[in-house]
Structure 1
C-alpha cells in the first residue's frame, strides 16, 4: 500500500514521486510488470535501430533519384543469388523489409505498455481504496477537514492518468536518450569538422552540427520553460474546479427528490453555474498560457525543418557532400534536436502530469495526516468486556463549542436505552462517540468486545446493486437464503419487494424514505446484531408503523442491547432506561423507565 514516510514528506517532488511509484515494482506484481517493461524497452531500442537503418536508406534513395540510377542489382539471401532487379525496385523492397518490422514493433510496444498501465492502475486503485477505507479515513477526512477534495476523482481519474502518462514519459525518456546517443554519433561522422577563422587564426570544430543541435535545443528548451512554467499551477486548478463542478451535479442527482420538492431548480442552476464559472475562468487562463507556448513551439518546430539544411548547404554547394548525405544530416539533426527538445515538446503533458502527481501525493498525505491525529475521546474494547461504559465523557463540536460534559454511565447487555433531548443537544453526536467515530471532546468509552453491532441512521445507506445486497449490508448476501430474506421483508410490510431480491437498482431513489427505514429494520432482523443503535431510524414512519418496528425488534431480537433516539413518547414503552440530555447544563442522566 503506498505510504509516505516522514522522510519522504520532507524530500523533494522526485523523492515523493519515487515513494508513490516504487512499491508497485517491488510488489507481487513485480515479475510480470518488470518483464513487460523490459520487453517494451527492448522494442523501443529496436525502433531506434530501425530509424538508423531508415536514415541510411533515405540517403541511398535520394542519391539514386538524383542520379536516375536504374542499374541492375543482384538480390541474394545468405550468399545465395535469388534474382536480379533494377536498383530502384531493390531499394523499394528493402524499404518494405525495414518498415514492416517497425510497424509490428510500434503496435505491440503500445499494446504491451497499455497492458502494463492497466495492471499498475488496478494495483494502485486497490491500494488507494484500502488506504481510503482503513481506519475510516474516508469519514475522518470530512470530520477533520483533511485538506483534500474529491477523493473519487483522485482514485479513478488521477490514478488512470498517472499510470498511463508515467509509463509514456519513462518510455519516451529512454527512447530519446538512446536516440540521442545513436544519432549524435551518426551526426558527428556525417557532418565532419568545419574550420572557421577566429581573430586571424583558424579553429577546427569536429562534428560541428552536433554542437549546433545542442545549442538550438538548449535555447528552445529554456525559452519554452520560461513561457510555460505557469501551466503546472493552472492545470492543477483546472482539475480541482472540474471535480467541484462534477461533485455539485452528483449532489443534485443524489438529492433530486428534495430539490424537486423545494422547487430549487433556480438556486441549483445558479450554484452549478457558479462552480462552472471557476472552470470557465481558469480555462481561459489555460488557453492563453498554451497559446503563448504554442506560438514559440510552432515557430521553433517549423524552423527546425529548414535550419540544418541552411547550415549544411554551403558544403553541399561546394561539392564536399552529396545530395543523399545532406538529407541524412538533416534527418539526423532532427533526431538529435527532437531528443534534446523532448522536455520542450512535452511541457504541457509534463505540467498536467506533475499536477496529477501532486494531487495523488496530497491525497496520500491527507489520509496519513488524519490517521495520525489522536482522537480526544479514547475508545477501547477490553477482552471479556460485556457492557458499554462511558467515563468522564465530554462532547464538543469541531469549533470547540461544548455539547456534553462529564457523562459517566454503564449500559449492560440486554438494556434498552432511549436517548432523549432537545434538537441540537448532541444525541447523534453521542451515538457517533459511542461508535468510535467522534473525536472531539474528552473522556473514555469502553465498548464490549467480540460483539456484532449495527447502526441504523435516520437515512439508511442502501448500496447500489441488487436488493439482496442492500438488505444484507454490511453482511455477505450469500450468507442468507431467499426464505430468510423474504421473511424479514414480510415482517416489515415490504411484501412488494420479496420477489425482487435479484433486481439491481438505485434503491435510495426508487424507495421512499419510509420504505428505506423499514428495509433497514428488516436488515437488523436478518443480521441479528448483539448491539443495535437506532438514530431516529423510524422517524419517517407513522406512529402505528413505528411501534410495529419496535415490537418486531423486541420480539425477534430479545437478547439484543438497543440504544435508540426517537421523539414520539409512545416509543418509550419499548425501552427500560432513558438517557436524558439537558442542553442547558450540558449534562446527561441515565435513569430507569417504567415499562407497560
Structure 2
C-alpha cells in the first residue's frame, strides 16, 4: 500500500535533491569502514591487518601520492578521459533503453517501416557503443600499467641503492620474499587500484542519471524504493562479510613462502642432490603447499557463503523489488493520471514498461555493483598491506634501522636473553665510519652479526697500502663477517672504522657472480661498455687481461667478446674464478678482498694471478686455508673461534 507521502505532489527540483541525498547517504554507508569489535582503540599505523580501516586509508593515500605525483601527470589525464567515456557509456545505455521500448511498441502496433527504422538506429548505435566499451577496458589497463610503472620505479630507487637490496634479505627479517613483493604483488595492487575507480565512479554516475530518468517516468518513489532495498542488502552483507582483505594478505604471504621453498631448492639443488635430501625437501614443499591450499579452501568456502547472500539479496531479491516498482505507473497512486496521459494505449504501456525496466535493470546493476564492491575494496586493502610492508622496510633501512625476529641481548645480570616472535628494532650504525685516503683501520670495532651474536668484542688493527694480509681461522669465527662490516654490508655496532671510499675496495667470493650478458660484460662488471671506453680501455686490453689469467682461448672458443651465453653453465669452476680475477685487474682497486676465490684454480695459475695483483699495487685481503697463498702476504690475521684474534707480521 502506498504511503500518504507518496500522494503529495512534490516539485521536481526537490525530488532531484532527495534522490541526490539518498545516493550520497548510500555511498557513505557503503564506504564507511567497520570498527574493530575486539578493541575500541585506534590501530597503530604499523599494525594494519589488511582490513578496510583507518590504517588502510592512510596507506592507500600514501601510495596514491607515488602513483599520481601531480595533477598534470598522465595518470590524471587518463582518469579524466575515463570519466568522460564512463559518462558517454551511461548516456548510450539510457538511449538504448528508450530505443528498446520504441522497438517493442512498433512490434505491438505491427508497423514494419518504423520497426526497420528503429532496428537500423540500434545498429548505428552499436558501432560507437562497442568502441566505448573496448576503450574503457583499454583505459583501465593503461591506468594499471601506469600505476605499476610509477610504483615499481619508486621501489627500484629505494631498493637498489646503498646496499638496501642486501639488507632487506640479510639484516631485516620482516619480508622473506622481496622479489614477489616487487613484482607480482605490485602488479596485483595496480590492477586492483585501476579497477576500483571504474567500479565506483561508473555505478555512482549510473545511479544518478538512471534515477533522474526513472523519476521522470515513474516518480521519485521508484528509485527511492530501489535505494532502500539495496541499503538494507548492503548493511546485511556488511554484517555477515568475512575480512577478505586480511584473508587476501595471508594468501599472498603463503604464496610467497611456497614460492620461496621452491627457489631455495633450485638454488641449493646440487647440495641437496649430493646429500640425497630430496625426501626432506619434498616434505617441506608439501607442507608449505598444504598450508596455502588449506587457506585457499577456507577462503573459497567463505566466498561460497557470501555468494549465496549476494545472489539472494542483490540478484533475486532485487528482481522481486523491481517487478513491484515497474507496476507503479499502472497500479500506483498516480495511475489514473498516467493512463489518461497515454490514452490507455496498450502499446504505450508496453513501450514504457520495456524502457523503464531497462533503466531499472541498469540502476539495479549499478547499485548492486556498489553494494558488493566491499569485496574489491577488501582485496585492495590486502594488496595494499603486503605492498606497503616492503615500503616500510625500505624506509626503515634507509633511515638506519632494521628489525629481527630473534635477537640475542644481555640483560642487567649479564645473561644472554633471546627474544623470539617479536621484531626488535636495531640501529644500523652505532659506531662511526670515517673515510680515509688509503688506510683501513679498525679501532675497537666489534664483530657482531645481525642476529646480535658477538664474535669479537673489539678489533684493533691498521692496514696501509702494500700490507698484504691473509686471514685464517675456523668456520664461523668472523672472517667473512669482518669483510661484511668493511664493505658496509653489516652495520658498525661500535668503535670507529677508518676506510677509503667503497669504490676503492673490490670483493671476489668463492663463487663469483656472472651476470647475463656478453663475455666483455663478465670482465668489466659492473661497468658498461661506454664506461670502459671512457677509461680509454679497448677490447685488446681486455684480451690481454684474459691472457694474464690463462683464459685467452675463451675469445676464440666463444667467437669474440660480444658473445652472449649462460656463463654459469658454460664455464667451469676454475674458469669462473679466473674471470673474477681478470675483473679485479680491470678495476685495479686499492684493496682486494679475496674470499677463497682461487679454491678451484691450480697452484701455478694461482701464483701467476697473485703476482699480477701485486704488480698492479693492489693490496690483498685474502681468506684462505691454502698454505700456498701465505707466501704472497706479509701479515696474518688469525682467529681462534673463541672470540680472540692475533694480527702479526709473518716470518716468510
Identify the TM-score tier after normalising by the shorter chain: 0.7 to 0.9
After TM superposition, the structure 1 = structure 2 runs for residues 70-219 of structure 1, keeping only pairs within 5 Å, are: 70=112, 86-192=113-219, 207-219=220-232
For structure 1, which segment, 150-159 or 294-303, has the greater mean C-alpha deviation from structure 2 after superposition? 294-303
> 585, 588, 600: which is aligned to 1:528?
588
Does 1:53 find its partner at 2:105? no
Does 1:572 find its partner at 2:614? no
Instruction: Give me the whole-angstrom Cα distance separating, in 2, the residues matched to 1:223 and 1:506.
Output: 59
**Relative to structure 1, is the Cα distance of residues 171 and 385 closer, same or farther in structure 2, using a 3 angstrom cutoff?**
same
**Relative to structure 1, is the Cα distance of residues 67 and 231 closer, same or farther in structure 2, using a 3 angstrom cutoff?**
same
Instruction: Give the aligned partner of residue 650 of structure 2.
Output: 593
Instruction: Give the aligned partner of residue 342 of structure 2.
Output: none
Report the CA distance between 1:218 and its aligned residue. 1.6
After TM superposition, the structure 1 = structure 2 runs for residues 266-305 of structure 1, keeping only pairs within 5 Å, are: 266-299=279-312, 300-305=314-319
Instruction: Give the aligned partner of residue 69 of structure 1.
Output: 111
| Structure 2 unaligned blocks of 5 or more | 1-43, 48-53, 340-348, 402-426
Does 1:418 find its partner at 2:476? no
Instruction: Give me the whole-angstrom Cα distance separating, in 2, the residues matched to 1:313 and 1:242.
Output: 52
> 539, 542, 547: which is aligned to 1:482?
539
Q: Is the 8 A contact 2:431 2:492 kept in 1?
A: no
Q: Is the 8 A contact 1:234 1:285 kept in 2?
A: no
Q: Is the 8 A contact 1:235 1:355 kept in 2?
A: yes
State the superposition RMSD in angstroms.
2.5
- What TM-score, normalized by structure 1, do the two folds share? 0.87
Does 1:357 find its partner at 2:351? no
Instruction: Give me the whole-angstrom Cα distance separating, in 2, the residues matched to 1:542 and 1:274.
Output: 44
Q: Which has the higher contact order (CA 8 A, sep 6+)?
A: 2
Q: Is the 8 A contact 1:55 1:328 kept in 2?
A: yes
SS of 2:497 mapped into structure 1? strand
CA shift digits 1:315-344 (9 cap, x unpaired): 446785612222222222222222223244
| Structure 1 unaligned blocks of 5 or more | 1-6, 71-85, 193-206
SS of 1:445 mapped into structure 2? strand
Instruction: Give me the whole-angstrom Cα distance separating, in 2, the residues matched to 1:484 and 1:167.
Output: 52
**Relative to structure 1, is the Cα distance of residues 267 and 465 closer, same or farther in structure 2, using a 3 angstrom cutoff?**
farther
Instruction: Give me the whole-angstrom Cα distance separating, in 2, the residues matched to 1:8 and 1:289.
Output: 28
Instruction: Give me the whole-angstrom Cα distance separating, in 1, the residues matched to 2:259 and 2:438.
Output: 46
Instruction: Give the aligned partner of residue 466 of structure 1.
Output: 518
Report the CA distance between 1:365 and its aligned residue. 0.7
SS of 2:444 mapped into structure 1? strand
Instruction: Give me the whole-angstrom Cα distance separating, in 1, the residues matched to 2:78 and 2:451.
Output: 52
Instruction: Give me the whole-angstrom Cα distance separating, in 1, the residues matched to 2:173 and 2:86.
Output: 43
**Relative to structure 1, is the Cα distance of residues 256 and 211 closer, same or farther in structure 2, using a 3 angstrom cutoff?**
same
CA shift digits 1:364-397 (9 cap, x unpaired): 0111123331324535343x63211111111123
Q: Is the 8 A contact 1:150 1:244 kept in 2?
A: yes
Instruction: Give me the whole-angstrom Cα distance separating, in 2, the residues matched to 1:412 and 1:462.
Output: 31
For structure 1, which segment, 119-128 or 501-510, has the greater mean C-alpha deviation from structure 2 after superposition? 501-510
**Relative to structure 1, is the Cα distance of residues 482 and 263 closer, same or farther in structure 2, using a 3 angstrom cutoff?**
farther
Q: Is the 8 A contact 2:229 2:321 kept in 1?
A: no
**Relative to structure 1, is the Cα distance of residues 510 and 293 closer, same or farther in structure 2, using a 3 angstrom cutoff?**
farther
Instruction: Give me the whole-angstrom Cα distance separating, in 2, the residues matched to 1:496 and 1:306.
Output: 83
For structure 1, which segment, 286-295 or 32-41, has the greater mean C-alpha deviation from structure 2 after superposition? 32-41
**Relative to structure 1, is the Cα distance of residues 143 and 235 closer, same or farther in structure 2, using a 3 angstrom cutoff?**
same
Does 1:226 find its partner at 2:267? no
> 63, 72, 78: which is aligned to 1:20?
63
Q: Is the 8 A contact 1:397 1:440 kept in 2?
A: no
**Relative to structure 1, is the Cα distance of residues 493 and 222 closer, same or farther in structure 2, using a 3 angstrom cutoff?**
farther
Instruction: Give me the whole-angstrom Cα distance separating, in 2, the residues matched to 1:440 and 1:269.
Output: 40
